[in-house]
Amino acid sequence: MTAHIDASKFLDPRVAAFVSGRHAMLIGGQWLPAASGRTLDVLDPSSGKVIAAVPAGEGADVDLAVKAARKAFSGPWSSMVPAERAKLIWRLADLIEQHVDMLGPINSYECGKPIGDSRNGEVPFTAETFRYYAGWATKLNGESMTINAPGDWHAYTRREPVGVVGQIIPWNFPLAMLAWKVAPALATGCTIVLKPAEQTPIGALYFGKLVEEAGIPEGVVNIVTGFGEAAGAAMSGHPDIDKIAFTGSTEVGKMIARAATGNLKKVSLELGGKAPTIVLADADVEMAVAGASSAAFFNAGQSCGAGTRFFVHRKIYDKVMAGVAERAEKLRLGPGLDPSSELGPVVSQQQMERITRLICEGKSSGAEIVTGGGRAGDTGYFVKPTIISNTTRDMSVIREEIFGPVACAMPFDDEDLDALARDANDTEYGLAASIWTNNLGAAHRLAAKIKSGTVWINCHNFNDVTMPFGGFKQSGWGRELGAQALDLYTQTKTVAIRLP
């Protein structure tokens, strides 16, 4: 634990100048304030201090952005040959990489994560995602069919862009979430209205400058900053948006699905999770300790794939628990911008309060705190890395997504894979899971029984741009990343010709 340090002292003056400067939204190639003139404050989560103000966009601003996106869709973007589009997306990837000295610190400043995770993790992954989808722009082909009816026929399919897409993203990986959505949409020829989370809009606005610099035609990428209840809701219900892609809470995901029924826009949702981390008796204890700790504490637990329910074989339970608790207690808490910080704050007061409330509910219903157990310090939004034991299946700490550095641990005695899978699957979520073992048979058998979109074996939170990611059950609809993300942004047209 460290004493409070003012994050701004780690700021490069160029980053500080951009963050505290005047911010506007990118709409139709122009930088505009909100029509209402209103702004919203952005805070440094390590101090709670206001670091910037951005436009608080609402319905009128969304309307303007949708008009610009529609114009670009029926204009330059869809008439551009794919190879040209690919070049522009590749150029954007290069610019993201070249601007790591701005994007990295901006990202860590506004969302609080350790600077190394931004500079060496999220920013390069963001660039890589654009590069990967740049490659796909030239590989979107239809197919031809052999027709059964008598006569001479020629039939084929075309893969056409869905049109104007609304993309609503969260604050936990502000740049990676932007890339997972914007890159495949650009590759397929869609145009975009992007709404970053109200907590982390600054990186997205900086990205907007790179979009311009890359030479992407105006109106193709529009960025509307604002609150979810105003700008986000206006997008979900908008009659001229053809598709919404959303990452965030299951609660808001359901609201978006309902709002989308007006024009039956396509919807893809990447929602919450409550991933099990399953450690079998034969697992390498050291590897499992490191893996379970990072599954729970990486990004201060603010990851939809976070491993928040440990199931550990009784034979090694005490060893694993002791190892995880030792790591938790050694983690150095501090502002993301301080290079010596290993665990940043959570993003907001609201999130901190939600996490500490859930920990308290666990305690008062009989769970035991192995380590951690509440807020750290009294400045900023730091939460102690926390492990909870003695839980029962009905406790809110076991049922709800906590989205903080908190995990619950449960021993199991019998390596009956069906029983293990039943416990692991005892959640409304189904995003991810990890299994720690050297037993190949058990690993694959259990992987097949787990109801989640991703199963990691001897790793956790491992995402690669080639691997589809998304949820079973209430963790969402659709798959992002990989070739499957292209399906979210294209629709198939069948053309059948009777040859004269």
In the list 252, 283, 296, 457, the residue contacting ligand NAI (rule: CB under 6 A) is 252
471 binds ligand NAI (CB under 6 A): no
In the list 228, 276, 323, 405, the residue contacting ligand NAI (rule: CB under 6 A) is 228
**Smallest gap from residue 350 Cβ to ligand NAI (A):** 7
44 binds ligand NAI (CB under 6 A): no
112 binds ligand NAI (CB under 6 A): no
304 binds ligand NAI (CB under 6 A): yes
Segment holding 210, helix H or strand E: helix 202-214
167 binds ligand NAI (CB under 6 A): no
65 binds ligand NAI (CB under 6 A): no
Task: Calculate helix-pair angle for 174-188, 82-98, nearest 10 degrees.
Answer: 160
Segment holding 407, helix H or strand E: strand 406-412
The DSSP output letter for 73 is I
Stretch that binds ligand NAI, among 4-12, 38-46, 169-177, 338-346 (CB under 6 A): 169-177
d(CA 155, CA 147): 7
For tokens 């990205």, what's the residue? 207
- Asked if residue 36 lies in contact with residue 60, where contact means CB atoms within 8 angstroms, the answer is yes
In the list 183, 187, 190, 271, the residue contacting ligand NAI (rule: CB under 6 A) is 271
272 binds ligand NAI (CB under 6 A): yes
- Residue of closest CB approach to ligand NAI: 228
474 binds ligand NAI (CB under 6 A): no
Tokens matching residue 120: 């060496």
430 binds ligand NAI (CB under 6 A): no
Active site residues: 270, 304
Stretch that binds ligand NAI, among 8-16, 19-27, 180-188, 242-250 (CB under 6 A): 242-250
How far does the chain reach from its first CA to its final CA, in angstroms?
79
Please report the DSSP string for 277-293 in residue order. EEE-TTS-HHHHHHHHH
Tokens matching residue 375: 């807020």
Cα separation values, 438 from 53, 294, 441, 458, Å: 51, 19, 9, 8
Stretch that binds ligand NAI, among 143-151, 165-173, 309-317, 380-388 (CB under 6 A): 165-173
- Asked if residue 93 lies in contact with residue 56, where contact means CB atoms within 8 angstroms, the answer is no
248 binds ligand NAI (CB under 6 A): yes
**Smallest gap from residue 246 Cβ to ligand NAI (A):** 7
Q: Using the Cα atoms of residue 389, residue 391, residue 397 and residue 401 in order, give the sign of their dihedral.
A: positive
The DSSP output letter for 340 is T
Stretch that binds ligand NAI, among 85-93, 212-220, 245-253, 361-369 (CB under 6 A): 245-253
In the list 61, 117, 122, 198, the residue contacting ligand NAI (rule: CB under 6 A) is 198
233 binds ligand NAI (CB under 6 A): yes
Question: Within a 10 A sphere around the Cβ of 208, how many other Cβ atoms?
Answer: 22
- Asked if residue 195 lies in contact with residue 224, where contact means CB atoms within 8 angstroms, the answer is yes
Residues 332-361 within binding reach of ligand NAI (CB under 6 A):
351, 354
d(CA 175, CA 137): 21
In the list 80, 103, 197, 455, the residue contacting ligand NAI (rule: CB under 6 A) is 197
Q: Which residues of this chain interact with ligand NAI, rule CB under 6 A?
A: 168-170, 172, 195, 197-198, 227-229, 232-233, 236, 247-249, 252, 255-256, 270-272, 304, 351, 354, 401, 403
